[in-house]
């Protein structure tokens, strides 16, 4: 067992975060996701929206929850990483499981305290997301197929993202900002399609490197590409449902679909290599950013 002096722990955790939870990616994603979800939820009802102090709490809570889940994944995937990713921090001893668990406890206390300022509903919703994440490790130990079969693993793990989306929307409902209706389902489906397009894109390739857990291995590259493109198309359908009543200008976020269309064409035309991931990343950024900006600009 590795023992680390307490004064060194913050620096070790900082290095872990900078390497495995790159702020320029994860913080940007969490920020844009919350702004887009909140902004669309409000403006879809015809009301005006501006970010507020409550928005900041939701952003910080989601980003910290994503960090919590990343720390959890590092521990959950340790056996796989020992074989296929021997340079990972937990494998090399750059961080210990005890340090990660301690940080996760601090995060739990932090997000609970933040959301207690808002409402009990907010606390319950964010804790539910973290709690579901904690269930994944024992579930994979009890049922190894969950970790070994990528599609099954995705079906079991994705509800964490859904619960974080429910937290943001539920927080708005608890505050009386919006009234829950059918638009909640369309909005959560939009977020699901956006993130699942990226998720499939990053694990779709014509060839599978040793140890890679790709969706294209089970589905085949062609079908995996169809599913990846299908999620982007699903996002557009949801955008039309949510934005069309506000007029033609409100459909501008749909133009982001040109990015996955280009990515799909490139992948199929190449016949080798991996999905052009920059197009999938740009689709997430463009969709969420355009949605958030539009929510501010719409009267």
Map out the domains of the chain with their CATH numbers: 7-180 (1.10.357.140), 181-299 (1.20.120)
Residue 5: its pLDDT value, please?
61
Pairwise CA distance, residues 211 & 228, whole Å: 22
Range list of H helices, the chain: 9-20, 23-43, 53-76, 78-84, 89-92, 97-116, 120-142, 145-148, 150-157, 159-174, 182-202, 215-219, 221-243, 258-270, 277-297
Task: Give the residue-averaged pLDDT of 185-194.
Answer: 96
pLDDT digits (tens, 9 = 90+) for 42-71: 988 888 899 999 999 999 999 999 999 999
Burial of 27 (0-12, 13-18, 19+ CB in 10 A): middle
Lowest mean pLDDT among 107-121, 198-212, 263-277: 198-212
Mean pLDDT of the chain: 91
Instruction: Give the confidence band of 80 by pLDDT, cuts at 50, 70, 90.
Output: confident
Cα–Cα distance list, 68 to 10, 79, 274 (Å) = 15, 19, 29
- The pLDDT of residue 2 is 54
Looking at residue 204, what is its pLDDT?
A: 95
Name the pTM for this structure. 0.92
Compute the distance between CA of residue 30 and CA of residue 68 in angstroms, rounded to an integer: 13
Specify the pLDDT at position 55: 96
| Cα 83 from Cα 208, distance rounded (Å) | 16
Banded model confidence at residue 4, pLDDT cuts 50, 70, 90: low
**Residue 91 contacts residue 82 (beta carbons within 8 Å):** yes
* pLDDT at position 193: 97
List 205's β-bridge partners, or say none.
274
Q: List pLDDT tens digits, range 266-279.
A: 999 999 999 999 99
């Amino acid at each position: 067992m590795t023992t680390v002096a307490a004064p060194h722990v913050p620096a070790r955790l900082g290095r872990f975060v900078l390497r495995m939870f790159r702020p320029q990616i994860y913080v940007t994603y969490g920020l844009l996701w919350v702004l887009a979800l909140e902004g669309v939820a409000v403006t879809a009802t015809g009301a005006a929206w501006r970010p507020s102090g409550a928005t900041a709490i939701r952003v910080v809570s989601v980003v910290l929850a994503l960090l919590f889940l990343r720390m959890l994944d590092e521990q959950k995937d340790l056996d796989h990483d020992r074989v296929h990713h021997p340079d990972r921090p937990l494998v090399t001893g750059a961080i210990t499981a005890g340090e990660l668990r301690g940080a996760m406890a601090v995060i739990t206390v932090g997000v609970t305290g933040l959301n207690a300022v808002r409402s009990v509903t907010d606390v319950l919703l964010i804790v539910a997301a973290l709690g579901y994440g904690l269930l994944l490790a024992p579930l994979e130990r009890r049922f190894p197929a969950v970790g070994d079969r990528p599609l099954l693993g995705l079906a079991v793990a994705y509800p964490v993202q859904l619960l974080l989306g429910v937290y943001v929307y539920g927080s708005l409902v608890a505050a009386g900002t919006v009234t829950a209706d059918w638009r909640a389902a369309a909005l959560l489906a939009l977020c699901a399609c956006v993130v699942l397009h990226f998720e499939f894109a990053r694990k779709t390739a014509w060839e599978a490197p040793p140890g890679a857990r790709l969706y294209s291995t089970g589905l085949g590259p062609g079908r995996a590409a169809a599913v990846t493109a299908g999620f982007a198309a699903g996002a557009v359908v949801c955008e039309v449902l949510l934005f069309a009543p506000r007029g033609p200008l409100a459909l501008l976020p749909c133009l982001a679909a040109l990015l996955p269309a280009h990515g799909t064409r490139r992948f199929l035309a190449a016949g080798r290599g991996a999905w052009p991931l920059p197009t999938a990343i740009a689709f997430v950024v463009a969709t969420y950013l355009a949605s958030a900006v539009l929510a501010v600009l719409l009267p």
